[in-house]
């Protein structure tokens, strides 16, 4: 049936088991002379790249609408005005840089294991990123916004943390890209490289999430804004779930996987 194109099909040996991977060969499966396959329709699919681009372009545009104080956002007298606090344009540049970096990585860096995801996920993902971007931007760019308690020193320290973690995140994504050669389905254990930002692989299975957490902690410290803190906490909870799942997957697939590693926070979590 052309309605069930390959990307939305799932075949399993057990109704509650894991779906078979595309590269698995029938003769090598743990079955006898006969086997029962269970088919599941995964629903309409959309490419991961498309979802990533849409969920990243949204926050980028939404934040700028608040930053430039377009009409109907704040009081009429504040339309197209600029904040008197230096931290506000710095925060805007950092927020924009983060999502522009993610867009570039989506287009040129990431090599994903799965090419598609359920279409319904785009609404969930975009709602999360777009709504949080609007909530944060509204308060950070508000005419009554007050800068961090320790002023310029706090902003500079937070900016350093943010930029360090953004560089770290990019380094990890490049290391993971180099681990997955085009058209090669063989999975490998990621190890530290000559790049110092990748040395955290010695202690953490998913340092991309560790650096992402660090970036948003830096942004929270920089803006001293409750919505940003809330976004950071929610993001950390979700990334911890993903990191634990990936860590379990590594332990299951590789007998020689380094035992010293934790999912997301060294020696803690």
Q: Quick check: 189 and 257 in contact, CB under 8 A?
A: yes
Residue 78 contacts by C-beta under 8 Å, 6 or more apart in sequence? Answer: 69, 143
Class of domain 7-43: alpha beta
Residue ranges of the domains in the chain? Answer: 7-43, 45-147, 151-268
What the block records as the tokens of 14 is 């057990």
Structure tokens at 69: 């104080």
Output the six-digit token pair for 258. Answer: 């380094």
Distance CA 52, CA 86 (A): 31
Render each residue's pLDDT in the chain as its tens digit; 269 residues: 456 555 555 556 656 666 555 555 555 555 655 666 666 656 577 777 788 888 899 999 999 999 999 999 999 999 999 999 999 999 999 999 999 999 999 888 877 666 677 777 788 888 999 999 999 999 999 999 999 999 999 999 999 999 999 999 999 999 998 887 766 667 889 999 999 999 999 999 999 999 999 999 999 999 999 999 999 999 999 999 999 999 999 999 899 999 999 999 999 98
Q: Which residues is 47 bridged to in the sheet?
A: 116
How far apart (Å, rounded) are the C-alpha atoms in residues 100 and 170? 12
Strand intervals (E) in 18-153: 38-41, 45-47, 116-118
């Amino acid at each position: 049936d052309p309605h069930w194109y390959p990307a939305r099909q799932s075949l399993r040996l057990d109704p509650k088991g894991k779906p078979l991977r595309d590269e698995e060969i029938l003769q090598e499966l743990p079955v006898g002379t006969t086997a029962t396959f269970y088919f599941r329709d995964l629903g309409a699919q959309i490419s991961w790249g498309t979802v990533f681009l849409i969920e990243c372009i949204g926050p980028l545009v939404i934040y700028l609408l608040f930053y430039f104080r377009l009409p109907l956002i704040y009081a009429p007298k504040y339309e197209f005005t600029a904040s008197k606090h230096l931290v506000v344009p710095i925060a805007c540049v950092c927020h924009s840089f983060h999502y522009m970096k993610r867009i570039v990585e989506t287009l040129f860096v990431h090599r994903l294991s799965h090419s598609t995801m359920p279409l319904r996920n785009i609404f969930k993902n975009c709602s999360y990123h777009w709504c949080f971007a609007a909530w944060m931007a509204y308060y950070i760019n508000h005419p009554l916004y007050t800068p961090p308690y320790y002023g310029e020193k706090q902003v500079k320290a937070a900016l350093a943390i943010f930029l360090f973690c953004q560089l770290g995140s990019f380094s990890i994504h490049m290391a993971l890209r180099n681990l997955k050669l085009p058209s090669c389905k063989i999975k490998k254990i990621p190890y530290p490289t000559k790049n110092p930002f990748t040395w955290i692989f010695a202690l953490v299975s998913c340092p991309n999430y560790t650096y992402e957490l660090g970036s948003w902690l830096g942004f929270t410290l920089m803006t001293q804004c409750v919505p940003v803190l809330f976004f950071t906490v929610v993001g950390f909870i979700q990334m911890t779930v993903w990191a634990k799942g990936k860590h379990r997957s590594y332990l299951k697939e590789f007998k020689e996987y380094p035992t010293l590693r934790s999912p997301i926070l060294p020696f803690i979590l």
